[in-house]
């Protein structure tokens, strides 16, 4: 026989191709098989690791690839936790985070020291290190919360904040005990540790936001942005490790710092979650399973006793911490279950502590943490991860089910559909990105991209160009798992095509790019936009983007008097509040005192997470006061109205001049809110034929034409 029939399947498998193939098969089929049994797929990854590991079927060895990908996986979990953390909710609940962090650290420490000394008979140092392992926890079940869309709940924010506190304290104990046996504990040790951590935190806080803002403004390539973010994650982790702390704290901190630069509904966020949940995190979970020797449970003796004590004490102490937090702040039972589920799993910091403790010798050949503790730890990791996954899955299901009615009510109240006319390929991503920030996060549809064409000799070429533009729009939306409808319409004019499409699809609003002036006598908005405003009373948002929206630092909104009497008053407020929450930036409103009370009360009640600031603007005719508050990286939003409606003012006709003079170098949004009626059903004596020419800006061209006369007055 030829050599190619000589198959060699020595175990464990060492060929990289087959190792990666087997891991991918596990990642693929574990959720499918366990999903039928209603078992969280996270448990499937750990059980699969036990099965294929050295203490199972010995199919794979826990080689450097599992070390590498496992490291990436745990960094990814902590990074995503920081990235998806609601900072406004965290600020409001910082006391709760601190209290839970102290509960979930102190209770396991007290019970852990007592049980280790009284039940297991260990000395004080061993008992303290063992208790610190109970105190720390890993957010293994966080992907479950993220999958249910609950990552911004206050209970999740409290748990994440408490995790950072208890892990930092537990790792500090590990560093101190390790330093004791190395003879490094003295006054200089504490000074150096504090100084190094302070320097690293300062470097990250000072440089990461500035570098990120510059990079996202300069480079819009999706792959470059993804690699840039990963580089920052590992930079943060590496710097913390140099400072003597665990790298997961650095990854978590980088996630917090990048939160406002990566909106929740954005292609970059989708790619980060996809790669982590598809590869890195499952790799980490499989690696955790591979170190677990399930046979220690059945061998009996001291190892079984240690495993039972460790598992029971760790679980009870974490449940007590969640229960005390719930009672202290009068939270719901489902919130307590979610806190307990997220905080019960032991993995990353626990592994680090037991492995280091097993290497520290208190006497020749006598480790600080013996093999019984090592085996008991891996059994504890298995059971706490199983308990964590089950409890979190059930709590998340109950919370998601209780929220379904509210979500349905929001959808029924207004079936949002945003129409986005596109023509210029260079502005497609900005327009779609802005629409994603404005839409409801509960919906995976509601966007309509359209292209209007004239039926002429070049229609075939235009059709191909239009279809390419629409395909690009669909790709941008699909990158965040949002389904976008597309349509190509033949019509006599672009405005007419938009108006007819608006009605056919029952769209609630239009997002369109600002017209580029072709000549000095050309109007500010352009004939097409003016005809669109004349032909529909639906909300129209006209946008000029000078930089990516995720790099904006502030949104400044100018609101005219009597805006609260318009039909679309609350609609545009909702859109801007959503945008402010997604970007995590401040939103400052300038409006008349009478309007201010309506606007502020609505935002405080419906959108308490908005970082709102409110200032009075008595004289709408002069926007000079606002211009002094505007920087180059601010978005200026001007709310106006069509002629003939309640909030319309003659000073609106000077808006083109004011915008060009004061805000020419700023990103801009001009909003024409919903207003009552249908233009095609309204016939007035002043305009019996309903001409399509604009009434609001019919004198702007004349103003520009007479500009030399105004600059040089006639004598």
Which three-class secondary structure string do you get for 434-466?
Answer: HHHHHCCCCCCCCEEEEEEECCCCCHHHHHHHH
Q: What is the pLDDT of residues 613-637, one digit of tens each?
A: 888 887 766 667 787 788 888 899 9
pLDDT interval class at 714 (50, 70, 90): very low
Q: What is the pLDDT of residues 169-193, one digit of tens each?
A: 877 777 777 666 655 566 677 788 7
Give the 3-state secondary structure of residue 224.
Answer: helix
CB-based contact 533:522 (threshold 8 Å):
no
Among all chains, which residue has been given the structure tokens 């996270």?
A: 42
The answer to whether residue 682 scores a pLDDT higher than 50 is no
Query: What pLDDT sits at residue 228?
Result: 92
CA–CA gap between residue 604 and residue 586 (Å, rounded): 14
Average pLDDT of the chain? 78
Query: What pLDDT sits at residue 231?
Result: 92
Q: What is the pLDDT of residues 282-322, one digit of tens each?
A: 887 788 778 777 676 666 667 778 888 888 888 899 999 98
Q: What is the pLDDT of residues 187-234, one digit of tens each?
A: 677 788 788 888 988 999 899 989 998 998 888 777 888 899 999 999
CA–CA gap between residue 143 and residue 334 (Å, rounded): 18
Q: Which of 391, 275, 274 is nearest to 323 (CA)?
A: 391
The two tokens of residue 451 are 């292209």
Cα distances from 430 to residues 331, 498, 544, 675, in angstroms, run: 41, 19, 9, 27
Query: What pLDDT sits at residue 49?
Result: 83
Question: Of 247 and 564, which is predicted with more confidence?
Answer: 564
pLDDT interval class at 88 (50, 70, 90): low
Give the 3-state secondary structure of residue 512.
Answer: strand
Question: Of 267 and 36, which is predicted with more confidence?
Answer: 267
Q: Which of 280, 233, 225 is nearest to 253 (CA)?
A: 233
pLDDT interval class at 646 (50, 70, 90): confident
CA–CA gap between residue 318 and residue 535 (Å, rounded): 62
CA–CA gap between residue 647 and residue 263 (Å, rounded): 33
CA–CA gap between residue 599 and residue 614 (Å, rounded): 9
pTM of the model: 0.67
The two tokens of residue 341 are 């589920």
CA–CA gap between residue 491 and residue 459 (Å, rounded): 11
Enumerate residues 6+ apart whose C-beta is below 8 A from 191: none
CB-based contact 254:235 (threshold 8 Å):
yes
Phi and psi based region of residue 121 (left: phi greater than 0; alpha: psi -120 to 50; beta: remaining): left
CA–CA gap between residue 615 and residue 702 (Å, rounded): 34
When mean pLDDT is compared over 38-47, 558-567, 674-683, 700-709, the highest value belongs to 558-567
The two tokens of residue 191 are 């000074």
Q: Is the dihedral of CA 174, 175, 178, 179 positive or negative?
A: negative
Average pLDDT over residues 102-126: 86
Average pLDDT over residues 400-407: 54
Query: What pLDDT sits at residue 701?
Result: 44
Q: What is the pLDDT of residues 53-77, one digit of tens each?
A: 887 788 888 777 787 887 788 788 7
Which backbone phi and psi does 589 adopt, to 5 degrees? -105, 135
| Least confident stretch, 3-12, 411-420, 430-439, 517-526 | 3-12
- % of the chain at pLDDT higher than 70: 81
The two tokens of residue 173 are 């104990």
- % of the chain at pLDDT higher than 90: 3
The answer to whether residue 78 scores a pLDDT higher than 50 is yes
Beta bridge partners of 544: 668
Number of H helices, E strands in the chain: 28, 12
The answer to whether residue 409 scores a pLDDT higher than 80 is no
Q: Which of 273, 234, 359, 287 is nearest to 60 (CA)?
A: 287
Residues in the chain: 715
CA–CA gap between residue 215 and residue 421 (Å, rounded): 29
Q: Which ranges constitute the DSSP H helices of 247-300?
A: 247-258, 267-275, 281-290, 296-299
Is residue 227 exposed (0-12), middle (13-18) or buried (19+ Cβ within 10 Å)? exposed
pLDDT interval class at 688 (50, 70, 90): very low
Enumerate residues 6+ apart whose C-beta is below 8 A from 579: 434, 437, 438, 549, 555, 587
The answer to whether residue 577 scores a pLDDT higher than 60 is yes
CB-based contact 524:652 (threshold 8 Å):
no
pLDDT interval class at 349 (50, 70, 90): low
Among all chains, which residue has been given the structure tokens 């000799």?
A: 457
Question: Of 477 and 353, which is predicted with more confidence?
Answer: 477
What are the strands, taking DSSP E only, across 71-137?
Answer: none
CA–CA gap between residue 49 and residue 33 (Å, rounded): 15
Task: List, as one string, the DSSP characters of 602-651.
Answer: HHHHH-TTSEEEEEE---TT--HHHHTT--TTEEEEEE---TTSTT--GG
Query: What pLDDT sits at residue 687?
Result: 40
Give the 3-state secondary structure of residue 539.
Answer: strand
Query: What pLDDT sits at residue 29?
Result: 83
Q: Which of 660, 487, 657, 637 is nearest to 572 (CA)?
A: 637
Enumerate residues 6+ apart whose C-beta is below 8 A from 116: 122, 126, 127, 130, 131, 309
Average pLDDT over residues 466-476: 83
The answer to whether residue 581 scores a pLDDT higher than 80 is yes
Q: What is the pLDDT of residues 490-534, one digit of tens each?
A: 877 888 888 888 888 888 899 988 877 655 556 677 788 888 888
Which three-class secondary structure string do you get for 292-345?
Answer: CCCCHHHHCHHHHHHHHHHHHHHHHHHHHHHHHHHHHHCCCHHHHHHHHHHHHC
The two tokens of residue 71 are 């490291």
The answer to whether residue 119 scores a pLDDT higher than 80 is yes
The answer to whether residue 382 scores a pLDDT higher than 60 is yes
Give the 3-state secondary structure of residue 489.
Answer: strand
CB-based contact 241:247 (threshold 8 Å):
yes
Task: List, as one string, the DSSP characters of 557-580.
Answer: EE--TTGGGSTTHHHHHHHHHHHH
pLDDT interval class at 112 (50, 70, 90): confident
When mean pLDDT is compared over 150-159, 355-364, 674-683, 691-700, the highest value belongs to 150-159
Q: Which of 503, 332, 487, 334 is nearest to 420 (CA)?
A: 487
pLDDT interval class at 365 (50, 70, 90): low
Task: List, as one string, the DSSP characters of 644-685.
Answer: TSTT--GGGGGHHHHHHHHSTTSEEEEEE---SS-GGG---S
- Angle at 362 (CA atoms; ends 359, 364), nearest 5 degrees: 85
Query: What pLDDT sits at residue 7?
Result: 52
CA–CA gap between residue 89 and residue 98 (Å, rounded): 14
- Angle at 220 (CA atoms; ends 636, 659), nearest 5 degrees: 20
Query: What pLDDT sits at residue 90?
Result: 66
């Amino acid at each position: 026989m030829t050599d190619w029939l000589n198959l060699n399947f020595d175990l464990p498998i060492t060929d990289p191709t087959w190792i990666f193939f087997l891991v991918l098969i596990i990642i693929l089929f574990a959720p499918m098989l366990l999903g039928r049994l209603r078992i969280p797929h996270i448990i499937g990854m750990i059980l699969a690791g036990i099965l294929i590991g050295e203490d199972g079927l010995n199919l794979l060895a826990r080689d450097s690839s599992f070390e590498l990908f496992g490291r990436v996986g745990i960094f990814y979990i902590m990074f995503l936790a920081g990235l998806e953390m609601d900072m406004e909710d965290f600020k409001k609940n910082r006391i709760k985070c601190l209290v839970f962090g102290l509960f979930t650290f102190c209770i396991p420490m007290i019970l852990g020291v007592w049980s280790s000394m009284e039940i297991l008979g260990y000395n004080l140092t061993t008992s303290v290190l063992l208790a610190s392992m109970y105190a720390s926890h890993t957010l293994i079940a966080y992907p479950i919360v993220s999958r249910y869309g609950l990552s911004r709940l206050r209970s999740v924010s409290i748990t994440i904040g408490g995790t950072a506190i208890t892990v930092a304290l537990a790792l500090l104990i590990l560093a101190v005990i390790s330093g004791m046996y190395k003879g490094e504990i003295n006054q200089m040790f504490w000074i150096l540790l504090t100084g190094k951590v302070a320097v690293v935190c300062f470097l990250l806080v000072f440089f990461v936001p500035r570098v990120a803002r510059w990079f996202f403004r300069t480079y819009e390539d999706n792959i470059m942005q993804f690699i840039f973010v990963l580089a920052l994650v590992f930079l943060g982790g590496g710097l913390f490790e140099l400072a003597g702390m665990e790298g997961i704290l650095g990854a978590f901190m980088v996630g917090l710092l990048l939160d406002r630069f990566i909106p929740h509904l954005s292609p970059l966020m989708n790619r980060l979650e996809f790669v982590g949940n598809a590869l890195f995190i499952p790799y980490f979970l499989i690696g955790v399973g591979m170190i677990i020797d399930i046979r220690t449970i059945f061998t009996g003796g001291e190892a079984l006793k240690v495993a039972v004590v460790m598992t029971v004490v760790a679980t009870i102490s974490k449940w007590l911490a969640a229960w005390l937090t719930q009672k202290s702040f009068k939270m719901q039972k489902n919130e307590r279950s979610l806190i307990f589920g997220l905080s019960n799993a032991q993995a990353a910091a626990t592994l680090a502590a037991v492995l280091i403790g097993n290497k520290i010798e208190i006497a020749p050949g006598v480790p600080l943490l013996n093999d019984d503790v090592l085996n008991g730890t891996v059994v504890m990791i298995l059971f706490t991860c199983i308990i964590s996954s089950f409890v979190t899955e059930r709590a998340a299901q109950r919370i998601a089910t209780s929220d379904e009615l509210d979500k349905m009510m929001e959808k029924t109240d207004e079936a949002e559909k945003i129409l986005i006319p596109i023509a210029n390929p260079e502005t497609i991503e900005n327009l779609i990105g802005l629409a994603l920030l404005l839409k409801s996060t509960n919906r995976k549809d509601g966007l309509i991209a359209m292209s209007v064409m004239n039926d002429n000799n070049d229609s075939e070429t235009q059709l191909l160009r239009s279809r390419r533009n629409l395909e690009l729009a669909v790709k941008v939306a699909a990158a965040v798992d949002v389904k976008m409808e597309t349509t190509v319409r033949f019509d006599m004019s672009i405005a007419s095509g938009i108006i007819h499409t608006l009605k056919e699809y029952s769209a609630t609003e239009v997002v369109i790019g600002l017209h580029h002036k072709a000549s000095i006598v050309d109007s500010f908005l352009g004939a097409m936009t003016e005809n669109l405003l004349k032909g529909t009373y639906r909300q129209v948002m006209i946008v000029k983007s000078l930089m990516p929206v995720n790099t904006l630092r502030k949104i400044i909104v100018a609101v005219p008097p009597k805006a609260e009497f318009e039909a679309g008053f609350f609609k545009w407020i909702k859109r801007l509040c959503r945008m402010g929450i997604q970007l995590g930036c401040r939103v400052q409103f300038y409006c008349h005192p009478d309007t201010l009370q309506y606007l502020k009360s609505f935002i405080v009640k419906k959108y308490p997470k908005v970082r709102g600031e409110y200032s009075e603007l008595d004289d709408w005719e002069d926007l000079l006061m606002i211009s002094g508050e505007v920087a180059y990286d601010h978005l200026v939003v001007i709310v106006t109205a069509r002629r003939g409606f309640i909030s319309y003012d003659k000073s609106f006709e000077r808006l083109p001049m004011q915008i060009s003079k004061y805000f020419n170098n700023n990103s801009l949004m001009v909003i024409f809110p919903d207003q009552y009626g249908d233009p095609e059903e309204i016939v007035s004596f002043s305009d019996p034929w309903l001409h399509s020419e604009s009434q609001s800006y019919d004198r702007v061209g004349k103003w520009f034409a007479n500009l030399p006369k105004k600059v040089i007055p006639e004598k």
